[in-house]
C-alpha cells in the first residue's frame, strides 16, 4: 500500500513548470503552463479523483484514490482521502482513509483507526494535497485543441524528464528504487487545460516500471473537481 501511494505521489506530486521545451509548440506549451501556474495561485481548495491501473504477468490491478483539501487560507493543509484497490491479493485488502484537521491526522487502515501527528503522517504516507499541484518537468511537447465536458481546452502532450523528477522526489526515491530494484521508463503525459479556468484539470500518465527483471505497464489519471468550493473533512 505504501509503495503504491509513494509511486503515485512520486509521479504526480509536482508543480506546473515546463522544462526543456523548445520550438514554437514548446513555447506555446510553456506559455500555457505558466498561465496555469498563475491560475493555480488563486486556488484555495480542490477535490480530486486519482485512478491507477497496472498490467503485469497477465494480471491487472487497480487503485483509486479520491478526496479533497485546502491549499491556501486559514485551513491550508486540511484534507481527506480514501484509497481502495483490487486485482491482486495485496490490493484486495486495500481500504484506507486519512483525514487531517489542523495538526491532527487520523488514519483508518486494516480495520484500525490510528491518530497521528501531521509530521509523522506526512513522513509515512505523503500528503494527498501535493497531488493537486500536478506536472512539471514536461519535455518533448506538442499542443493541440480539444474540449473537456463541452468546454474548449488546450491539450499538452509530452513526456516527463524522469531522471530529473526522481532526483527531486526526496524521500520517495528510496521507496521507488528499493521496492524490488525497480526503475521508471519515460513517463508519457497528457495535460488538459480548459480555456475558461486555465487550470490543468486533467492529467493522464502512461509509463513502464521495471522491477526484479519484470516489467509492468502503469496508467494514471488525475481529475481535479470542485475548485474553490467548501471541502467537508469527515471524522474517521
CATH no. of 2-225: 2.50.20
Report the chain's mean pLDDT, rounded to a whole number.
74
Say what percent of the chain tops pLDDT 70: 67
CA–CA separation, 169 and 6 (whole Å):
10
When pLDDT is averaged across residues 95-120 and rounded to a whole number, the result is 88
pLDDT band of residue 186 (cuts 50, 70, 90) is low
* Angle between the N-to-C axes of helices 2-12 and 118-125, in degrees from 0 to 180, rounded to the nearest 10: 90
pLDDT band of residue 110 (cuts 50, 70, 90) is confident
Residues in Cβ contact with 192 at an 8 Å cutoff, skipping those fewer than 6 apart: 146, 148, 153, 154, 155, 156, 200, 201, 202, 203
Alpha helices in the chain (DSSP H): 2-12, 23-40, 89-92, 118-125, 162-167, 171-178
Range of weakest confidence among 88-92, 125-129, 145-149:
88-92
Query: In the prediction, which pLDDT does 3 show?
Result: 34
Q: Which three cell numbers stand for residue 108?
A: 483508518
Q: What is the pLDDT of residues 155-168, one digit of tens each?
A: 988 887 666 555 54
Give the count of alpha carbons within 13 A of 47, CB side only.
10
Q: What is the pLDDT of residues 15-31, one digit of tens each?
A: 233 344 456 777 888 88
Query: In the prediction, which pLDDT does 196 show?
Result: 95
Q: What is the pLDDT of residues 27-56, one digit of tens each?
A: 888 888 888 888 988 999 999 998 888 787
Query: In the prediction, which pLDDT does 89 show?
Result: 59
When pLDDT is averaged across residues 115-124 and rounded to a whole number, the result is 80
Residue 102 in this model has a pLDDT that exceeds 80: yes
Tell me which long-range contacts 162-165 makes (C-beta under 8 A, separation of at least 24). Answer: 162/137, 162/186, 162/187, 164/19, 164/137, 165/10, 165/11, 165/14, 165/136, 165/137
CA–CA separation, 165 and 135 (whole Å):
10
Domain boundary assignment for the chain: 2-225
When pLDDT is averaged across residues 225-231 and rounded to a whole number, the result is 93
Where would I find the beta strands (DSSP E) of the chain?
45-56, 59-70, 79-86, 95-101, 104-109, 112-117, 138-148, 151-160, 183-184, 187-194, 202-211, 214-225
204 forms beta bridges with: 190, 221
Query: In the prediction, which pLDDT does 169 show?
Result: 43
Q: What is the pLDDT of residues 207-226, one digit of tens each?
A: 777 656 677 787 888 899 89
Neighbours of 171 (CB within 10 A): 12
Amino acid at each position: 500500500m505504501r509503495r503504491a501511494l509513494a509511486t503515485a505521489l512520486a509521479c504526480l506530486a509536482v508543480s506546473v513548470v515546463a522544462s526543456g521545451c523548445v520550438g514554437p509548440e514548446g513555447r506555446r506549451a510553456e506559455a500555457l503552463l505558466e498561465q496555469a501556474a498563475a491560475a493555480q495561485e488563486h486556488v484555495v481548495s480542490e477535490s480530486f479523483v486519482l485512478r491507477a491501473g497496472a498490467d503485469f504477468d497477465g494480471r491487472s490491478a487497480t487503485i483509486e484514490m479520491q478526496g479533497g483539501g485546502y491549499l491556501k487560507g486559514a485551513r491550508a493543509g486540511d484534507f481527506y482521502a480514501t484509497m481502495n484497490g483490487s486485482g491482486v491479493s495485496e490490493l484486495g485488502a486495500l481500504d484506507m482513509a486519512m483525514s487531517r484537521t489542523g495538526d491532527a491526522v487520523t488514519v483508518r487502515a486494516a480495520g484500525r483507526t490510528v491518530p497521528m501527528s501531521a509530521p509523522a503522517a506526512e513522513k509515512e504516507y505523503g500528503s494527498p494535497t501535493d497531488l493537486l499541484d500536478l506536472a512539471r518537468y514536461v519535455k518533448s511537447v506538442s499542443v493541440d485543441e480539444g474540449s473537456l465536458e463541452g468546454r474548449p481546452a488546450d491539450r499538452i502532450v509530452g513526456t516527463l524528464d524522469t531522471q530529473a523528477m526522481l532526483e527531486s522526489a526526496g524521500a520517495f526515491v528510496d521507496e521507488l528504487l528499493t521496492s524490488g530494484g525497480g526503475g521508471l521508463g519515460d513517463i508519457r503525459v497528457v495535460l488538459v487545460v480548459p480555456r475558461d479556468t486555465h487550470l490543468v484539470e486533467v492529467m493522464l500518465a502512461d509509463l513502464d516500471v521495471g522491477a526484479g527483471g519484470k516489467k509492468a505497464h502503469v496508467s494514471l489519471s488525475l481529475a481535479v473537481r470542485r475548485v474553490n468550493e467548501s471541502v467537508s473533512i469527515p471524522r474517521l
